Structures are given as C-alpha cells and as structure tokens.
Amino acid sequence: MALSLTLPTTGGTLAPYALRGTAPVKPNAGVEFDRIAYSAAHVVADPLAAVDPWLQAAVDWDTTIAYRRHLFSLGLGVAEAMDTAQRGMGLDWPTSLELIRRSLDAAQDTPGALVASGCGTDHLDIDDVKSVDDVIRGYEEQMAAIEKLGGKLIVMASRALARVAKGPADYERVYDRILSQAKQPVVLHWLGDMFDPALAGYWGTKDVDAAMDTALGIIAAHPDKVDGIKISLLDKDKEIAMRRRLPATGGADGRGVRMYTGDDFNYAELIAGDGFGSVPTHGKSDALLGIFDAIAPAASAALGALAQGDTAKFHAILGPTVPLSRHIFAAPTRFYKTGVVFMAWLNGHQKHFTMVGGQQSTRSLVHFAELFRLADAANLLEQPELAVRRMKTLLALHGVEG
C-alpha cells in the first residue's frame, strides 16, 4: 500500500496525498563530472543551545560537517559560508570563519574535494562604513583570514559597498584592489536584489546591462585572478549574454573565465549549455547553486550522465527538480534557506527542523506541503517512510492530525 497523509491546499482545505512510490534518485558512484559543480551548503543549528536564536548563532558542528562530507561523496564541491548558510541572516563572521576552517579540514579526507569560501564585509557595522576605503579594509580582513587557512575566495557582494558607492568607478576601485592581492583565482559573486534587497543597484547602476559592462570590465582587467563569476539574477538570457563575453583566456586553468550559474529557476538548461562558439566556457555554465544542497543526489546523477554524453538522461533526472527549486526560491526569495533545511530534515540529514536565527518560521505550512509534493514528484524523498513521519510531525504541530 502506498504511503499517504493529509496535506493542506492553497484553498485552505485538507486533501489526502499518496506518495508516488517510485525509487529515489541515486547517483552512480565514481563518475567524474565535466562541469565544476559547487553546492552552497546550509548550516545545522544546535537546538539545545541556551541562546536567543534571533540574536546568537549556535551551530551543531558535527552534523553540519557531516553534511559537507555527504556532498563531497556525491562529487559536489562546497561553496562555504554563503547566503545558503544564512550568511547575513543569522550567521555572523566569527562563526562563518570557524565554519570555513572546519569545512577545509573535512575536505582533506576526500581527494579532489573542492571548497570555495565566502569573503565579504558583513563583520563591519554598516552604520560605521563611510567610504570605499572602509569597504576595502573590510574585504581585506576577511580575505587575509580565509587565505591564512589556505582557502579559495568567493568574493561576495557587499551591502556596505552598495550603500557607499557613488557609481561604477567605486566598484572598479574596490575589486581592482582585492583581485590584485588574491593569492589564487577567485569566484566573483553577483547576487540580485531578489535575494538581498540591500544589494539593489550593484556595480553602480540599476540598469542590468550597464552593470554587466562594469563587471565584465573588472574581469577583463584581471582575467588571471578570476576563476569565474556566479550570477544570481534569475534571468537566463542575461546569464547567457554575459558568459559569451567572458575572457577566453585566464581563469583558474588558463582556458577561460567560467560562468557559474546561480540561477535556481533555469539551471538545467544553463548547465547543459547551447554549444555557442569555439570557446568551451562560452557555451555552457558551471554551477554554484543553493538548490544543489536540497537536490544533491539528483544533481550528482544528472551531472554524471552529462559527463558520459547522455544529455537526455541529464534532463530526465534534473528536469523534475526545477519545479521544486522554483517553489523553494519563490518570493520572498531570501527565505529559500528554509526550504533547503526542510529538505535536509525530511531526508534524515539532521534530527530537527530548527534554524539559525529562527528562520524555520519564514514559510507557511501550505508552502511546506507543496514542497513535500514536489520533492516526491522529483524522486527526492530519500527515505519515504521517514519523510512521511516527519511531515506528519510538522502537520500535528500546526494542528493538522491524521
């Protein structure tokens, strides 16, 4: 008999739901990818810590690092201490640096494991930031701390810079300074204001095409210091236009600066690529995605199929995950972390559904019910019986019995 439960609907009613009963996605072991794929990874809160969750970050380090080892085992790299880890939404800089240290240590146990770490200015009191020089010093402090650990940088978009910059020239000055000092090629990060309203007008303008020109100019001035750029604009056409203009030389391997898709709405077709031109990095996107945390087995299986030339299988596996991702990243998009952690709880990667900053409260029961249905449709409930039990626990907490 199929597993079933009662779930709320968008119309305010309750309706029975029976799981599809199909086997969960499982990747093939040992398949090497032909794309670089980072999963921005979540942190697991410590629910037993005697802290005020809105004010203090308490992390369950063992479970947090165990999840990173799980991602490594699937062939995925980890983009550490990014917004998926609630950077700027509950995770402060000292805790972020400890997370980076522990993640880098864990990677030593897995040959070839990739870790890139978020470097920003979030330790600054934004009200005390008065100039671009203050922003530069902020970046340099985090840069020095991460590089001291041997870490590769993801230069995160800065709320402080967005606040004090007077135009594109200020962005050029900041990034010129940071890139000139970087010990190894970095990943730049362009996070749209749908993810963080404080980043509106990044690169000195609200005109996305003009902003792209500024970012490309900065990259062209330092192609050997830029591995790639991750853009999270949820606009596939803008991403394709930008990747076709990235330098054909430079990057981490000398074969061109990469586009790391951060488009959690259109990642399947962007990673598959369009074969444009003779420069490999112009015709496809690599990946640095928060949704890969929630769909890790499917991401691994799909990337393995793509590496073996089976594009149809790639889309067959990854295509059904896109509706789930669009739901998790629905507006207000910044609350997507809640859906990511919810998936980790459903699938048994953590024992509870509590989050740093109390962020488990940012989505409704109706949202979680639809997430459950979409995860089932994408064959992403790794332990269906456990997932049903845990969903019933959440339902009972909200007064829905049976």
Measured in whole angstroms, the distance separating CA 337 from the mean position of its chain's CA atoms is 9
User: What's the pLDDT score for residue 371?
Assistant: 98
Measured in whole angstroms, the distance separating CA 256 from the mean position of its chain's CA atoms is 23
Question: Would you call 80 helix, strand, or coil by DSSP?
Answer: strand
332 cis-preceded (ω within 30 degrees of 0): yes
Q: Cα-flanking dihedrals φ and ψ of residue 166, to 5°? A: -100, -10
The single residue listed with the structure tokens 């010093």 is 137
Tens digit of pLDDT at every position of the chain (402 positions):
579 999 999 998 999 999 999 999 998 777 889 999 999 999 999 999 999 988 899 999 999 999 999 999 999 999 999 999 999 889 999 999 999 999 999 999 999 999 999 999 999 999 999 999 999 999 999 999 999 999 999 999 999 999 999 999 999 999 999 999 999 999 999 999 999 999 999 999 999 999 999 999 999 999 999 999 999 999 999 999 999 999 999 999 999 999 999 999 999 999 999 999 999 999 999 999 999 999 999 999 999 999 999 999 999 999 999 999 999 999 999 999 999 999 999 999 999 999 999 999 999 999 999 999 999 999 999 999 999 999 999 999 999 986
User: What's the pLDDT score for residue 280?
Assistant: 92
- Return the beta strands (E) in 112-200 as ranges: 115-119, 152-155, 186-191
Q: At 90, which amino acid appears?
A: G
User: What's the pLDDT score for residue 228?
Assistant: 98
User: What's the pLDDT score for residue 209?
Assistant: 97
Pick the closest to residue 336 from 42, 38, 129 (CA basis). 42
Distances (CA, A) of 188 to 36, 118, 155, 178, 255: 15, 10, 5, 11, 17
198, 159 contact by CB (below 8 A): yes
User: CA 398 to CA 352: how far, in whole Å?
Assistant: 16
The single residue listed with the structure tokens 């040959």 is 111
* Full set of structural domains in the chain with CATH: 29-360 (3.20.20.70)
Measured in whole angstroms, the distance separating CA 59 from the mean position of its chain's CA atoms is 19
User: CA 282 to CA 49: how far, in whole Å?
Assistant: 48
Residue 309 structure tokens: 């030339």
Question: 189 forms bridges with which residues in the sheet?
Answer: 230
* Stretch (H or E) spanning 327: helix 321-328
253, 222 contact by CB (below 8 A): no
User: CA 36 to CA 75: how far, in whole Å?
Assistant: 10
339, 331 contact by CB (below 8 A): no
The single residue listed with the structure tokens 């639809």 is 370
Pick the closest to residue 86 from 336, 368, 364, 342 (CA basis). 336
Query: pTM (2 decimals)?
Result: 0.96
Question: Would you call 277 helix, strand, or coil by DSSP?
Answer: coil
Q: Cα-flanking dihedrals φ and ψ of residue 249, to 5°? A: -125, 170
